[in-house]
Amino acid sequence: LIEDSIHYQNLVRLLLGQQFPDVELHVAGEGIAGLAMAGQLQPDVLLVDILLPGIDGATLITSLRSHPQFMNSRLLVITSLDETQREPYAFALANVPVVHKPRLVAELPALLAQALGARALVA
């Protein structure tokens, strides 16, 4: 999880603890640390916020996609931006599932299960 808001870090941690107790969660609070951590851990799934201090999430996603080492990481974007506000980042968000933060509890579990399931098929 690359997310600067402690509140949303907490919410994702609670949600995963409850519904995905076997998933190991690592958290980075800003973009550059997140990129370094992602390189180190090569996670199965990356949850990325768009507006981040340091490097913004859209640039981060573009960067991830240009590195073959992340080919096996599934991406999910979480954001409080609505669809209009997301337009400037459209270049990075094509074909990436996006969760709007007000719907995080309702939507993230299914998308995450899907991403983890897809990974299981690849493995």
Partner 1 sequence: LNMSQGRVLFVDDDPSIRRFVEMALETMDVTVSCCGSVSEAIEKLCEHGPVDLLVTDLMMPGDSGFDLLQRLRDEPALRGSARLAVFSAGLHGKVQAELARYGVWRQLSKPVSASELEECVRDAMAWAARPISLAVREEEAGPGQEALPPLAQPELDVVQAHFAGDLGLYQAFRDGCCRQFAVDLARGEASIQALDFEDLLHLAHSLKSVLLLLGHKELSDIARDLESRAARTEAVHCAPLWQRLAEGLARLTAQPYVR
Among 41, 71, 106, 122, binds partner 1 (CB under 8 A): 106
* 18 near partner 1, rule: CB under 8 A: yes
Helices 104-122, 6-19: inter-axial angle, 10-degree rounding: 60
For residue 22, count CB atoms less than 10 angstroms from its CB and return exposed for 0-12, middle for 13-18, buried for 19 or more: exposed
Among 32, 33, 51, 55, binds partner 1 (CB under 8 A): 51
Among 39, 88, 102, 117, binds partner 1 (CB under 8 A): 102
Residue 19 vs 63, nearer CB to partner 1: 19
* 37 near partner 1, rule: CB under 8 A: no
* 113 near partner 1, rule: CB under 8 A: no
* 56 near partner 1, rule: CB under 8 A: no
Do residues 50 and 89 touch, judged by C-beta distance below 8 A? yes
Kindly write down the DSSP assignment for every residue of 12-57, as one continuous string: HHHHHHHH-TTS----BSSHHHHHHHHHHH--SEEEEESS-SSS-H
Distance in Å, CB of 37 to partner 1, minimum: 19
How far does CA 104 lie from the centroid of its chain?
12
Question: What are the residues binding partner 1 (CB under 8 A)?
Answer: 4-8, 10-11, 14-15, 17-19, 21, 51, 53, 80, 101-103, 105-106
